[in-house]
């Protein structure tokens, strides 16, 4: 296991940009890449509000097989094209071992989703790359199980691991999940990995995303993973939790105030 009380070790995404340092990084974008026009509009908004990382799903693991499953390769190409236009980095999910080389070609950070936290062959595959990996906590996983999954990645030589608290399933039904701010604070104290929070999946409600984002930054999160959409009512996935673009200034302004109070910046 990782040593107790180890300071966070920043991961340099570029020579100038690190996660786990002073800045709290905003990773924002659509749940699913639906089209070039949609993704470009979101990327432009992220850029104009100081964000550095565009998130978006090209491969979408959905509860129902009849739901939109993503554009696949076309989605990856769209993400890369619009991110390059605005000088953004890309984070997107790999669903299986076979996706890792493809995602690595187009993305700057490989995301492992909640459902795949204990997909060990996938963890080993990303562990054999040198790319930053964002590991989401399983929605019914303990902190110990989450950290053990991170060790599977590290055991293959890759310690560029970013942990992501995205809410866990509890007895509460008023929200999609329960954001575990305790976990953010605890893993910041007990591991050297940067920690980010996903207030979109943690709440499942657009009216609670800003409050959850503020709480996550206050708990010590090194970044936020937030879903945006130009018209959430027409989103092909996660419409109830996607912030409309006009709410992005509020998200940035409110979380920046929390970060500043803690001696940090938001970017």
* Residue 3 included in any domain: no
Has residue 258 got a pLDDT over 60? yes
* Residue 14 included in any domain: no
Handedness of CA 196, 92, 46, 167 (dihedral sign): negative
* Residue 228 included in any domain: yes
Determine contact, residues 83/44, Cβ cutoff 8 Å.
no
Q: Tell me the β-bridge partners of 168.
A: 178
* Residue 118 included in any domain: yes
* Residue 1 included in any domain: no
Percent of the chain with pLDDT over 90: 90
Question: In this structure, what CATH number is given to the domain that contains residue 201?
Answer: 3.20.20.70
- The separation between CA 136 and the C-alpha centre of its own chain, rounded to angstroms, equals 8
pLDDT at 9: 95
* Residue 48 included in any domain: yes
Compute the mean pLDDT over every residue in the chain, rounded to the nearest whole number.
94
pLDDT at 2: 44
Has residue 214 got a pLDDT over 70? yes
Has residue 1 got a pLDDT over 90? no
* Residue 20 included in any domain: no
Q: How many domains does the chain have?
A: 1
Has residue 64 got a pLDDT over 70? no
Burial of 36 (0-12, 13-18, 19+ CB in 10 A): middle
Distances (CA, A) of 253 to 22, 71, 180, 216, 257: 17, 33, 23, 15, 6
pLDDT at 67: 63
Q: Which is more confidently placed, 21 or 1?
A: 21
Residue 121: pLDDT band (50, 70, 90) is very high
pLDDT at 63: 64
C-alpha to C-alpha distance for 210 and 208, rounded to whole angstroms: 6
Nearest of 74, 63, 73, 75 to residue 30 by alpha carbon:
75
pLDDT at 238: 81
Question: Which residues constitute the domain of residue 155?
Answer: 25-61+68-266
3-state secondary structure of 255: helix
pLDDT at 66: 58
The reply to whether the predicted model has a pTM over 0.85 is yes
3-state secondary structure of 195: strand
* Residue 5 included in any domain: no
Tell me the mean pLDDT in the region 212-224: 98
Encode pLDDT of 74-93 as tens digits: 999 999 999 999 999 999 99
């Amino acid at each position: 296991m990782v040593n107790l009380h180890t300071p966070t070790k920043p991961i340099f995404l570029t020579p100038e940009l690190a996660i786990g340092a002073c800045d709290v990084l905003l990773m924002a974008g659509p749940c699913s890449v639906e089209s070039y026009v949609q993704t470009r509009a979101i990327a432009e908004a992220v850029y104009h509000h100081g964000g550095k990382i565009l998130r978006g799903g090209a491969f979408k693991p959905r509860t129902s097989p009849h739901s939109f499953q993503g554009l696949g390769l076309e989605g990856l190409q769209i993400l890369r094209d619009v991110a390059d236009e605005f000088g953004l980095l890309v984070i997107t999910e790999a669903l299986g071992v076979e996706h890792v080389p493809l995602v690595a070609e187009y993305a700057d950070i490989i995301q492992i989703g909640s459902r795949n936290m204990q997909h060990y062959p996938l963890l080993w595959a990303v562990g054999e790359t040198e790319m930053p990996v964002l590991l989401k906590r399983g929605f019914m996983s303990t902190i110990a199980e989450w950290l053990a999954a991170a060790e599977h990645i590290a055991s293959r030589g890759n310690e560029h691991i970013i942990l992501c608290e995205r809410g866990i399933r509890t007895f509460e039904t008023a929200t999609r999940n329960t954001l575990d701010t305790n976990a953010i604070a605890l893993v910041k104290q007990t591991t050297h990995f940067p920690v980010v929070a996903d207030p979109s999946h943690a709440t499942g409600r657009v009216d609670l995303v800003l409050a959850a984002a503020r709480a996550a930054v206050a708990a010590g999160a090194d970044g936020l993973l937030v879903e945006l959409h130009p018209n959430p009512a027409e989103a092909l996935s996660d419409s109830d939790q996607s912030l409309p673009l006009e709410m992005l200034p509020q998200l940035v302004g409110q979380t920046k105030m929390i970060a500043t109070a803690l001696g940090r910046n938001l970017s």
